[in-house]
Chains A and B, each alone.
Chain A
Amino acid sequence: MAIAVVIACGVSTVVMSFGTLASLEVTRDAYYEQQRFADVFAHLKRAPTALVERIARIDGVKRVETRIVEAANLDVAGMDEPVLGQLISLPATAGAGAGTGLNKIFLRQGRLPDPNRVDEVVLSEPFADAHGLIPGGHIRATINGHRRELDIVGIAISPEYIYAIGPGILMPDDERFGIVWMGRDALAASFDLKSAFNDVSLSLMRAADEAAVIERLDRILSPWGGIGAYGREDQISHAFVANEMELLKGLGSVIPPIFLAVAAFLLNVVISRIIATEREQIGLMKAFGYSDLSVGGHYLKLVLLVASVGVALGLLVGAWFGREVTEIYTDFFRFPVLFFKLDLQVFVLAGIASLLASGIGAVGAIRAAVILPPAVAMQPAAPTIYRRGVLNMFGLTERLSQPTLMILRHLGRWPLRAGLTTLGISMSVAILVASLFFYDAIEHLMDVYFHHGQRQDATVVFTEPRNMRALTEIRRLPGVMAAEPYRVVAAKLYHGNRYERASIAGLDGDAILRRALDEDLRPVALPETGLVLSTTMAKMLNASRGSRVRLELLEGQRPVIEVPVTAIIEEFIAAPAYMHRDALNRLMREGPTISGAYLQIDHNQSEALYRDLKNLPAVAGVSLQTAALTTFRKTMAETMNIMLFFYVLFGGLIAFGVVYNSARISLSERGRELASLRVLGFTRGEVSYILLGELAILTILALPFGCVFGVVLAQLMVANLNTELFRVPMVVEPATFAMAMTAVIAASMVSGLIVRRRIDGFDLVSVLKTRE
């Protein structure tokens, strides 16, 4: 039965992990499908609705949906800080703005706005939840300079905003950024966009060439202020969700197979032991005239039967766990549907792996028993030959106590077994290190990003580029201790046959708040000319220092120029590209122009500052660094915690399992020996020392190896992670090693204590009556 449980553990981990990942993807895709999540997105200044027909004629386009998307400052009771709202028009029921059903919202509560009522809105659920807003409530907003009181009639979610991330903000922050859906006519009236649109989404035919469609769309939209169309993979929410799933996959593809391997190893050991104890029976059966094949077949069948029970159990438990975990994630991502999909391939693979492991374990042991002549098999196995070995050479035999000598000799006699046990324990340390390391990596990443690179307290984003006077005004606001300007321009970067969309951030050369850093975290002065790429962007473009990159700026006169890459900098989050602001201004053929400012704030005056910022019509939004830090940590932790919880648990279980298993084997092999010692007057503690001391040595030996394996495993996972949103730095803090080792030691101690109780219960008399 113990075998069945071991198999069940291994199989269920694999089934759970892969099942969850597969299900999340299926669920997400089903959600996208159901809400008709668009394939291509583009934002522009303003275009007449008549343009839709031209867009619809692009080869491969299935549906075209136009919208009005604008920003607004929201005023939520209890929040001093500015809250940014993304206003999105809902399709009109008929006429020019009637929708084609792309990016449908999913109503969770309430109803859609009445087309005749201009102040009715639907809020995004994460935002509403963050502020406790419900249908029937109200929210104040400054829309295009006008203060409005809006009636909340519904709460909804959308595949476009699984994560709602505001402009210039790094992470979803549901308190400070929310989606507000309202009637198209109401929004058109507010922004003077009657019979016009400023945002368009397309769905594509199955065989469509997305790049070609984007190319055509850009050409159509560029006279209307288009800032570059992009596909789903650059859609921020999708990219974010994909990134999270990528992280889970990174974890899930490395750890569960290890777990299965360790389970297979345990299985192998346990089965060989059991067959070895059946040796006499096998001899007896052969003496009665059964053939080698039929005896061997009998035991193999027995083992496979038990293993099958384990596999079946593992599949069931794994499927059940997988469903539960998928449900947790479904809630987390707020998917309105849940499809649980079990990957048949994973099922079959996990099953076969387990059966093979038990089969191989059994075959070896059965062979060893079957090849013996019956007369020999029926007798107990020959006594183990021990050697004085290396211990003698150093004169250790005289110095060590006999019990210690027993430990060392036993280890030395079975080096393979000791090695495998050590390997098993070290694997559990490795799993813990590789799991817990993610927290270190994220802390390090945040430290670099927030404390070295982006040291501003707040970032102000203007509604549109302004001249330097805007900076002077910002500097005059209460509580502003320093303000550094920046210019951001959406761009396409081409290098060789690679192409990436990015924002070029123009920073001042002497900036001290927001800085570009090199690998050693030293600030890099932005060169007067040329482009500075983050390592991630450089990798994506396959560019290096000195490469020439074709730059297509997507604003203003949309200049296209070739610039040299003058530096590569280290940045873990996103894949930014920088230029000196003057150089960017020059390329844009504009005077000193800025898109916003980084502020250093006197926190005593922050309330007054926020109030003033909220009332500045030129300010589209303000993001706060502390809030970003908190949400970053929270968002990362939430996604990882669920999966990591399981891995840490399993890591501990492996340690427990390996140690317990090896203690049990030792106990069954050496029970007689240990009981003899008890007879000789050794106390329980002294006898336990021999057994547990051996395990302690193996555990301690395993710790350093485990840490090394853990780092290798972490590197493997980092290499497996293929995300553009952030790079996971390879940083493992000493505390993580310590925690992993402590957990494994604790797990070993628990199994040791359980075995120790068995030593206490030895029946001394019966042990002495039996032969070895």
Chain B
Amino acid sequence: MQNVQSVERATAFSVQGLTKIYGTGETQVHALRGVDLDLPQGELTVLLGPSGSGKSTFLNILGGLDSPTGGTVTFQGRDITALDSNGLTQYRRDHVGFVFQFYNLIPSLTARENVSLVTEIATAPLRPDEALELVGLSDRMDHFPAQLSGGEQQRVAVARAIAKKPDVLLCDEPTGALDSKTGIAVLEAIELVNREFGTTAAVITHNAAIADIADRVVIFADGALSEVRVNLTKIGAAEVSW
């Protein structure tokens, strides 16, 4: 296991002894069995691992969508596991941008409006047009999700996630439903945000090839970390192929 840090950076997330148990008694499932991990600010981390290895649970807890059974997650020095439901809502609102496998766009709103949805409640957001321009969709702003391709929809989702200039961008299988070409376009968008705004990004994927674009690769197995490695030979998303 390599544990060398290329650049000294402040820690965005500090995770200690994180456990998550679903169910009770005989049906208990240990999704996380004590995970310790620090994610430095501004890094792009790729989380790998088979289904059920705990990576999604881990990401959901980081994003304030789920609460752990034990352990702590400190974000910018604040313990988010101590927050109640309203506190978590506020945390998500102020700090977190999400991108999911199935886009989760609002079908009744156009691309621009889907982005405005978030900018309306954010403190210092990008303009919706700017955000869409960043992901290369300036000509599709007035289309409804049903009129966009999967890749375009996912890029709208990325634009929506970055428009509020979040501190962290959490992506769960963002390319899972896409072919490689559109998938790469989405990864480029994520990479761009990470690079331009210094947003801490964590991307879950099944696709080991994507790990090449990461600053850091974290591999989950059976609810625990099996490997954390720093990628010294990071490449651009455009160079990835699968």
Contact = CB atoms under 8 A, between A and B. Distances in A.
Interface of A: 382-388, 397, 401-403, 405-406, 409-410, 413, 672-673, 676-684, 686, 764-765, 768, 770-772
Interface in B93-112: 93-94, 96, 98, 100, 102, 104-110
A405 B109 contact: yes
B107 A386 contact: yes
Interface stretch (B1-9, B36-44, B139-147): B139-147
A88 B54 CA distance: 95
Given A386-B144, A681-B94, A771-B102, 5 more contacts: A388-B110, A402-B113, A676-B105, A679-B65, A682-B89
B201 to A, nearest CB: 17
Given A386-B108, A406-B109, A681-B93, A772 B142 contact: no
27 contacts: A384-B146, A385-B146, A385-B147, A402-B106, A402-B113, A402-B117, A402-B120, A403-B117, A405-B108, A406-B106, A409-B109, A678-B89, A680-B92, A680-B93, A680-B117, A680-B118, A681-B96, A681-B118, A681-B121, A683-B89, A683-B93, A686-B121, A764-B65, A765-B65, A768-B102, A770-B102, A772-B102
B149 interface: no
Nearest to A680: B118
Contacts of B106: 402, 406, 673, 676-677
B90 interface: yes
Kindly list the 7 A-B residue pairs having the minimum CB-CB distance in the complex, ordered from nearest. A681-B93, A409-B108, A681-B92, A676-B104, A402-B117, A383-B146, A386-B108
Contacts of B65: 679, 764-765, 768
Given A681-B89, A681-B90, A385 B104 contact: no
Interface of B is mostly: mixed
Contacts of B28: none
Nearest to A683: B89
A386 B66 CA distance: 32
A384 B105 CA distance: 12
Contact of B104 (A383, A679, A765): A679
A115 to B, nearest CB: 87
A680 B157 CA distance: 11
A638 to B, nearest CB: 53
Contact of A388 (B86, B93, B104, B142): B142
A768 B102 CA distance: 8
B231 interface: no
A768 B99 CA distance: 10
A406 B60 CA distance: 27
Contacts of B98: 679-680
Contacts of A683: 86, 89, 93
Contacts of A384: 107-108, 146
Contacts of B90: 681
B116 interface: yes
A47 B95 CA distance: 105
Nearest to A681: B93
Band of interface residues on B? 35 or more
Most chain B beta-carbon neighbours within 10 Å: one of A384, A679, A684:
A679
Residue of B65, B93, B145, B160 with highest tally of chain A CB at under 10 A: B65
Nearest to B128: A402
A402 B92 contact: no
Contacts of A772: 102
Given A397-B113, A680-B117, A681-B92, A672 B108 contact: no
A383 B147 CA distance: 10
Contacts of A397: 113
Q: DSSP class of A's interface residues: helix, strand, loop or mixed?
A: helix
Nearest to B96: A681
Nearest to B93: A681
Most chain A CB within a 10 A radius of its CB, from B86, B105, B144, B147? B144
Contacts of A682: 89, 93, 121
Interface in B138-189: 142, 144-147, 160, 172
Contact of B116 (A402, A410, A676): A402
A678 B113 CA distance: 17
Contact of B108 (A410, A676, A678, A768): A410
B107 A673 contact: yes
A673 B117 CA distance: 12
A402 B121 CA distance: 10
B66 A765 contact: yes
B21 to A, nearest CB: 15
Nearest to A382: B146
A765 B92 CA distance: 14
Contacts of B114: 402
Nearest to B66: A765
A677 B89 contact: no
B144 A768 contact: no
A513 to B, nearest CB: 69
B168 to A, nearest CB: 12
B94 to A, nearest CB: 7
A111 B143 CA distance: 91
Contacts of B142: 388
B111 to A, nearest CB: 12
B108 A413 contact: yes
A337 to B, nearest CB: 63
Contacts of B117: 402-403, 677, 680
A382 B116 CA distance: 25
A410 B120 CA distance: 20
User: Which of A410, A680, A765 lies at the interface centre, i.e. has the most chain B CB atoms within 10 A of its CB?
Assistant: A680
Interface in B210-229: none
A722 B65 CA distance: 66
Contacts of B172: 768
B4 to A, nearest CB: 34
Which residue, B108, B110, B113, has most C-beta atoms of chain A within 10 A?
Answer: B108
Nearest to B57: A765
Contacts of A410: 108
Nearest to A682: B121
A686 B121 CA distance: 10
A409 B120 CA distance: 18
Contacts of B60: 765
B113 A405 contact: yes
A391 to B, nearest CB: 11
A109 B47 CA distance: 92
A413 B107 CA distance: 11
User: Which of B106, B116, B146 gathers most chain A CB within 10 Å?
Assistant: B106
Contacts of B108: 384, 386, 405-406, 409-410, 413
B206 to A, nearest CB: 14
Given A679-B104, A681-B93, A765-B60, A402 B145 contact: no
Contacts of B93: 680-683
B141 to A, nearest CB: 12
B107 A383 contact: yes
A383 B145 contact: yes
B104 A672 contact: yes
Contacts of A676: 104-106
Given A405-B108, A771-B102, A385 B113 contact: no
Contacts of B109: 386, 402, 405-406, 409
Nearest to A384: B107
A403 B114 CA distance: 10
Nearest to B157: A676
Contacts of A382: 146
A382 B145 CA distance: 12
A401 B104 contact: no
Nearest to B60: A765
A547 B144 CA distance: 73
B102 A386 contact: no
Contacts of A403: 117
B87 to A, nearest CB: 11
Nearest to A411: B108
B211 to A, nearest CB: 23
B61 to A, nearest CB: 10
A652 to B, nearest CB: 32
A676 B89 CA distance: 12
Contacts of A383: 107, 145-146
